Structure 1
Amino acid sequence: FPRYHIGESLLPSTVHGIAHLLGVSDELKKAAFTIKHGGTFKWGANPEPWTFDFAVSRRMPGATGYAYQVERMKFDQILLDNARRHGVEVQENSDVLDVLKAEDGRVRGVRYRDSEGREHEVGSRFVVDASGNTGGLYKKSGAKREYSPFFRNLALFGYFNGGKRLPKPNSGNIFTCTFEHGWYWVIP
């Protein structure tokens, strides 16, 4: 840790709500992430791009009318360091071997192997599977996912040199477009 993950396009409620509650607002500012003021779309019947601006909302006026496009390695490190500062015991370079279940079937902890090869069990009131799209704990819990055939899709991502940004003030916005058989987005 930190490890590579595709970036994240945050919303004002995350930046000015959750980040404030966690106490990481100043660190997000210092990280110099790309600022976005909204989103720009080429979507629907009108072929011309249209933009929504966070600052237009009566619920998010003025200084809270922006968010960030974050690099996950930096963002995740900010969150992990903050958790440690608040007393969370962090186990890195450890593998979850199995989930521990209560008699009612609820996941109540995990069994893991630490970086020195020792196995441990740890219980908790809440267990969060933050393993990403692989759903590591989810699979170990025996739960079954039901995929909607309507939303069956394929996602690809890549990085491009020399790409153009939208003109200011929308240069930090996510740009989302549709085409005949799908859609794509560009995050600066």
Structure 2
Amino acid sequence: MSTHSSKRITVDVAIIGAGPAGAVAAALLRRSGRSVLVLERQHFPRFSIGESLLPQSMAYLEEAGMLQAVVEAGFQYKNGAHFIHRGQSSAFDFRDKHSPGWGTTYQVERAVFDDILIRCAAQQGADVRFGHTVRAMQTGENGNKPVLDVIDEAGNAYEVEAHFVFDASGFGRVLPRLLNLEAPTRMPTRAAIFTHVRDGIPVGVTDRNKICVATHPERRDVWFWMIPLAGGRSSVGCVAEASFLDVPEAERDTKLRALIQQEPTLGPLIGNAPFLMPVRHIGGYAANVERLHGPGYALLGNAGEFLDPVFSSGVTIALRSAHLAVQTLNRQLNGEQVDWSSAYDVPLRKGIDTFRAFVERWYTGELQDIIFYPDQTPSIRRMISAVLAGYAWDESNPYVADPVRRLNALHDVCTHA
């Protein structure tokens, strides 16, 4: 998308990583008239996990001028989530929710989706460079501008001086590694094994418009996803504590196949459907940092904190972080004194903590008791549905305003009824 020769280039904002957070941030900054350079180590399209979007993310795609391109790409439509445990079933339709806003979205092949987003950013004037790796950073302390040390695949090194740097490098976590920002995560070490299948599921047998989340019949802390994609494919995977999935690479296919066949609903659906790629493994993905910002930089999406894949919150948190960070940075670049902690860190973490309360109770089984409770109150169900749809920042929802206390009280009702 561009070539260069000079040893130091100057730009308003440098963004590390061209995934959804980086692409949306780049587009929003271009809409504010800022010059933007996006540095991406890989080449797109490239495989990524996190294929089931949440409706809340649609508002940010719309704001960034990307909605039409996403809608026209032909992805699998999504309107909810379907939970299964030992033949029990509980489906949530995200259109029936407490919070206003989008109730539908898509299940996407991320290689295609991410490529569409970064191309939209480039069309809006962002300078996007693939195959460029950030090796070091001088932070923006004492009134200095931050400077990145970058190298391309041909071995050409150069520096980027910016008013500000966004790290949107996802699991690459570039600045947390380079600046030693890592903090202990409160989440246990879990792993996932997954693949794509040619599912061949007859029409009407399952609702392709919903992600299917199934818990293992014997172990409630082990769960499966089935994400129907366009063109008769599905993404399927299993998440568990890392040791449970710790098998040699050559045995992953057998392990995943055996686990799927133990689940009474997914077993017959997926059964012996051919795997379309070798089974992949991702582990130790829960991550955290002390602060999401520092002198001259902010961390977006998974570069800051990643919880767990169970409620597909990753892309929504990434896009929310891009939206909030750009709002905050624009105020700063316009000459305002900005407190990044109160303007960015605290409000972003509010929603992350809402998701965390749900994730933690999923693994204890408490949220499963709530989801499968037979006598659900419609208004409370709509509040839960809103959080599952990504509206984890809407404090008019009691389960956002005070998620821990509310979920604990609701669980007491469900178990003592």
TM over 0.5: yes
Q: Distance in 2 between matches of 1:9 and 1:121?
A: 37
Question: What's the counterpart of residue 224 of structure 2?
Answer: 184
Matched, 1:31 2:69: no
Question: What's the counterpart of residue 137 of structure 1?
Answer: 175
1:137 deviates by 3.0
Could you tell me which of 79, 88, 100 is aligned with 1:48?
Answer: 88
Q: Determine if contact 1:9/1:69 at 8 Å carries over to the other structure.
A: yes
Q: Determine if contact 1:99/1:109 at 8 Å carries over to the other structure.
A: yes
Task: Quote the RMSD (CA, aligned, Å).
Answer: 2.7
1:151 deviates by 2.1
Q: Determine if contact 2:78/2:210 at 8 Å carries over to the other structure.
A: yes
1:28 deviates by 0.8
Amino acid at match of 1:74: V
The one-character-per-residue Cα deviations of 1:162-181 (angstroms, maximum 9, x if unpaired) are 36389488312111122214
Q: Determine if contact 2:175/2:181 at 8 Å carries over to the other structure.
A: no
Question: What's the counterpart of residue 171 of structure 1?
Answer: 208
Question: What's the counterpart of residue 106 of structure 2?
Answer: 68
Q: Distance in 2 between matches of 1:165 and 1:122?
A: 53
Structure 1's consecutive aligned runs of 4 or more residues displaced over 6 angstroms after TM superposition are none
Q: Distance in 2 between matches of 1:27 and 1:174?
A: 22
The one-character-per-residue Cα deviations of 1:117-146 (angstroms, maximum 9, x if unpaired) are 221111334423332323233211221231
SS at match of 1:76: helix
Greater shift, 160-169 or 28-37, is seen at 160-169
Q: 1:142 to 1:125 in 2, by over 3 A?
A: same
Q: TM-score normalised to the size of structure 1?
A: 0.82
Question: What's the counterpart of residue 110 of structure 1?
Answer: 148
- Looking at secondary structure, tell me which structure has more helix per residue: 2
Q: Please list, as runs of the form range in 1=range in 2, the aligned pairs for 1:79-90 lying within 5 A after superposition.
A: 79-90=117-128
Larger gyration radius, structure 1 or structure 2: 2
SS at match of 1:55: coil
Q: Determine if contact 1:94/1:112 at 8 Å carries over to the other structure.
A: yes
Amino acid at match of 2:49: I
1:9 deviates by 1.0
Q: Determine if contact 1:4/1:73 at 8 Å carries over to the other structure.
A: yes
Could you tell me which of 46, 52, 68 is aligned with 1:9?
Answer: 52
1:60 deviates by 4.2
Q: Determine if contact 2:145/2:161 at 8 Å carries over to the other structure.
A: no
1:95 deviates by 1.5
The one-character-per-residue Cα deviations of 1:38-74 (angstroms, maximum 9, x if unpaired) are 011125xx8511111111125347xx32110111111
Q: Determine if contact 1:38/1:52 at 8 Å carries over to the other structure.
A: yes
Q: Structure 1 unaligned runs (5+)?
A: none
* Corresponding pairs, count: 181
SS at match of 2:192: coil
Q: Distance in 2 between matches of 1:34 and 1:164?
A: 15
Q: 1:58 to 1:142 in 2, by over 3 A?
A: closer
Q: 1:107 to 1:164 in 2, by over 3 A?
A: farther
1:20 deviates by 0.6
Q: Distance in 2 between matches of 1:107 and 1:167?
A: 58
Q: Distance in 2 between matches of 1:91 and 1:8?
A: 24
